Every structure is written in structure tokens, then in C-alpha cells.
Amino acid sequence: MKILVVIPPDQFRDEELAEPLAAFQNAGISFEVASTRRGTCKGMLGTQAMANFSLEEVEPGEYAGIVIVGGSGSPAHLWDNEILINLVKYFHKNRKLVAAICLSPVVLAQAGILKERTATCYMSPASKREIIKGGAHISEKDVVVDDSIITANGPAAAKEFAGAIIHHLKG
């Protein structure tokens, strides 16, 4: 089983990448990291991560799900990204896991998959507006599981977010 982890190329939230990746490794779930471009990506706290693929190069059929990391780079690089929005639609249509944390659940709203669903995110004025515009019911919980969609509100929830993803994938 392999999942796709998407990060902004700049200003991703370090813990939202590091904690889930460590948990996936411990659970025996393989992953590949992609971004809007290949190469080294930089976290808000200085972590460097390698994106092995650009979003254009992703073959979505190879993955059991998609996990989108947040951070302040999410609005600049991931929101309104047509390729990423289409990937989210593909995963959802094919009943695969779709997960996003922090500011990145906005991408799920933009893909139209949060309509009449319950979701959470890091509540900035812009993210809250986008989530509501996408038709979601906003929850104050740290992590929300709604069928095959998992959302989380930020770095403090990264461990619980990873656990929910593993539970969904492994039953």
C-alpha cells in the first residue's frame, strides 16, 4: 500500500509532514512526496524535504490515497492549483482516501468534495470563507473523519491526523 503526500514547495508546516511520515513508516505504509515542482522543499521551521515528483508527474492510480500537508505556503502554492484539485477529485471519485491538514483542506473545498460534509482546518478568515463556500459543515474538533475524507486543524493535531489515516487505510 502506497500513499501520495503533497507539500507546498516552500513554507510547509514541518510537523505536519514529519509526524505522519514517521507514523506511516512505523505502520508499514509506503509513501511518495510530491509538490508543485520536483526537488528540495523548505518548511516553515527550516526542515528540508525532497519532492520526488511534480504534481504533473503523479500517476494517481498507483496510490491508495492522497495526504495534503499545510502551512503558510498552502494558500500561495496549493490553493487554486488545478492539477492538485483534479487529483483530489480523482481520489474521491475512486473512493480512495483524501486527507488534508491545516490550511490545505481548502483544496478539498475547491475540488467540491466537502459539500454537505463535516470538516475542520486552521481557521484563518480566508480558509474559513473557502471551506464555507465549498459547502462544508465546520467542526471545532482537531481531526474530523467523514467517510474517506480526513481533515485536521494544524500542527498540534499531526499525530492524531496520522493515526486517523492509518486506521482508515488498515481498518
- What does the pLDDT look like over 87-112, one tens digit per residue? 999 999 999 999 999 999 999 999 99
16 closest CA partner among 152, 164, 169:
152
What are the residue boundaries of the structural domains of the chain, listed by start?
2-170
Q: Which residues pair with 39 in a beta bridge?
A: 51
> In whole angstroms, what separates CA 60 from the centre of its chain?
14
pLDDT for res 171:
83
Q: Burial level of 164, CB count in 10 A (0-12/13-18/19+)?
A: buried
Superfamily grouping for domain 2-170? Class I glutamine amidotransferase (GATase) domain (3.40.50.880)
Residue 132: HSE in the Cβ half-sphere, 13 Å Cα cutoff: 7
Q: Which pLDDT tens digit goes with each residue over 46-83?
A: 999 999 999 999 999 999 999 999 999 999 999 999 99
Average pLDDT estimate for 149-170: 98
